Amino acid sequence: MRKPFLFAMTILVLANANAQPTQKPPLHGKNWMAITGKPLAATAGSIVFQQGGNAVDAAVAMLAATCTMWDVLSWGGETQALIYNPKTGKVIGINALGVAPTGATADFFKSKGYHFPPEYGPLAAITPGTVGGICHMLSEYGTMSLKQVLAPAMQMAAGYPIEAQTANSIERGKDRIKQWPYSKKVFLTHQGEKREAPEAGEIFVQQDLLNTLTKLVEAEQAALKNKKTRKQAIQAAYDRFYKGDIAEEFVRGCQEQGGLITKADLANWKVKEEEPMMVNYKGVDVYKLSQWTQGPTLLQSLNILENFDLKKMGYNSPQYINTVYQTMSLTFADRDFYYGDPAFAKGQQPMKGLLSKEYAKQRAQLINPEKNVPDFGPGDPYLFEGRTNPFTEQIKKWNQNSDSLSKRNFVPAHDSTATAMLEQEQYMDRLWRGTTSVEAADKDGWVVSITPSGGWLPACIAGNTGVGMSQRMQSFVLDASLSPFNVVEPGKRPRVTLTPSMALKEGKPYLSFAVQGGDTQDQNLLQFFLNMNDFGMTVQQATEAANINTNQLWLSLGGSKITDRRPRPGDLLLSNRTPEATREALKKMGYKLSFGDRTSGPINAIFLDRKHGSIWGGSSNNGEDYGIGW
């Protein structure tokens, strides 16, 4: 008898968002805020702040610490960031994503029987980007030395008490880890015993990684002794990683295990700065990285949703869910077809059209208020740029393929059979896989949002560097009919799910936010933003609020076959606290429902409270994410 009462109370609470209780308290600070995916890493940020660093210094320290803790990323992964520079009043985009190495062609992977590049191992690796991203952000926008910001990570590499989540991930992945000698040496600290991984709380030592980080600091300090500037000294560390003895050992270890990365691939790679993409939603300027990420889907979604009265519909009402779901289906269809590395697109990508308000109005008219539309395909944004779409015939075939998909039930039966349960578990792992987030802000106005990833467990370590290689190659496609701008080529960046976010009001920072969770990232970040902006929730309430997830998209990660990644039209994940009336209404609209206790990856966010001159932090109640403010 208590459940209907609790549902009714939930509805009443959401009607008055400011009264909504949260499972974790909001964070408050006046001087700074540091939030990330691990408590120890948040502490690393606080240490740097207390030593006088700015938000960039602290963010870099947190990134370095999370890379040392392994379960969702390593030092060989990739880094994507947005930085608000108070000196210029501009938001800066940082592209520290690696590229496909020499020999990584569609024909190469097809010759090995792949439908997509592999999920794990040395052939899954693009060139490492995070070290370069750390050096670039620190030298251009930080204030401290590499020695200072890497100190917490180096202390951890020398030995830190490993948490249960990572230790158990190592144990679960030990059969794969045993295929790679350098990974086996680092991760399986109890080889031959029943449990070969470290135990929770065990002091986990990574001597090879410590040696690598020490070499970076040595290069910086030697340059400073030779009267080089701070920037030049950090560049010396960068060069040692990408062109020196670290690069040599990384490439040797990679190729020994069957990987493709060459010394030239490392030496030629560079961090890129870019002007982020932006749309204005009801007076708020929302920024995302460009189409080498999936970030513009959130901007497209906001443009479409601006045509609806979401507040009148009500938070997570059937009408609201149906509208948001179809909006995301439309924008992800565009993502799946048009997004990819702009450096290889020769100006063909119609990003101006995709982000135009007029295109959004046209797409909004396709949304059916009565039921889900299972066969949305890419639109024609070229019309809104005064150009002819060169892919008209290809899109027709793409849509025909979607038509055939919509007639199939891709949702496994939720029965007691082990096969169905395993299939759903594997699918959700691919949907939510990888990454963490880093958020930092300070009283001087610096704000940072980072979504790093790559080198997650079970990771293949490159030689004696202690550096786990990225697995981001799998986000390429091998067939241009699926995604003409995202076919693998040497030197090309894959289209990634990784997507930091920032919003400004009246030209000043308003929100900095990011989330873990593969293809669900911009789904959950969209709803987080609407929770705050349209429904008046506080930043902590918005991180914890129940979201929906759509599977009506091509997966970006996991699975070696086309069938592993195909869209599941109408497949909808809801909170298990969803009222029965809402469930029944959605079923009548054609949705296939599944439920979870948590319906979002862990969202981390910072709200800059201009009214009171304070900084609010929100860190989701899902996962180990943690923040500290002062």
User: pLDDT for 251-270, tens place per residue?
Assistant: 999 999 999 999 999 999 99
Mean pLDDT, range 349-356, rounded to an integer: 98
Is it the case that residue 427 has pLDDT exceeding 50?
A: no
Contact 596, 576 (CB under 8 A): yes
Q: At 137, give phi and psi (nearest 5°).
A: -60, -40
Q: Please tell me the predicted confidence (pLDDT) of residue 19.
A: 53
Higher pLDDT among residues 625 and 237, named by residue: 237
Beta strands 592-596 and 32-36, pairing class: unpaired
How many CA within 13 A on the CB side of residue 625? 33
Contact 398, 405 (CB under 8 A): no
Q: Which two tokens stand for residue 200?
A: 């929770």
Q: Please tell me the predicted confidence (pLDDT) of residue 434.
A: 59
Is it the case that residue 242 has pLDDT exceeding 60?
A: yes
Is it the case that residue 9 has pLDDT exceeding 60?
A: no
149/154 Cα distance (integer angstroms):
9
Lowest mean pLDDT among 155-159, 399-403, 534-538: 399-403
435 confidence band (pLDDT: 50, 70, 90)? confident
Mean pLDDT, range 44-71, rounded to an integer: 97
Q: Which tens digit of pLDDT belongs to each residue from 488-542?
A: 999 999 999 999 999 999 999 999 999 998 899 999 999 999 999 999 999 999 9
Higher pLDDT among residues 605 and 12, named by residue: 605
Question: Could you tell me how many residues make up the chain?
Answer: 630
Listed residue (571, 627, 244, 591) closest to 431, CA to CA:
571
Is it the case that residue 100 has pLDDT exceeding 80?
A: yes
Lowest mean pLDDT among 228-237, 496-505, 593-602: 593-602
Listed residue (62, 68, 67, 65) closest to 45, CA to CA:
62
Q: Please tell me the predicted confidence (pLDDT) of residue 400.
A: 65
354/382 Cα distance (integer angstroms):
8
425 confidence band (pLDDT: 50, 70, 90)? low
322/457 Cα distance (integer angstroms):
36
Is it the case that residue 160 has pLDDT exceeding 80?
A: yes
Q: Amino acid letter at 163?
A: E
CA angle at 556 for the pair 551 and 562, rounded to the nearest 5°: 80
CA distances to 319, 424, 534, 549 from 309, rounded to whole Å, are 11, 35, 10, 21
401 confidence band (pLDDT: 50, 70, 90)? low
What's the whole-number average pLDDT of the chain?
91
Is it the case that residue 10 has pLDDT exceeding 80?
A: no
Listed residue (601, 299, 322) closest to 435, CA to CA:
601
Is it the case that residue 619 has pLDDT exceeding 70?
A: yes
As beta bridge partners, residue 76 has 469
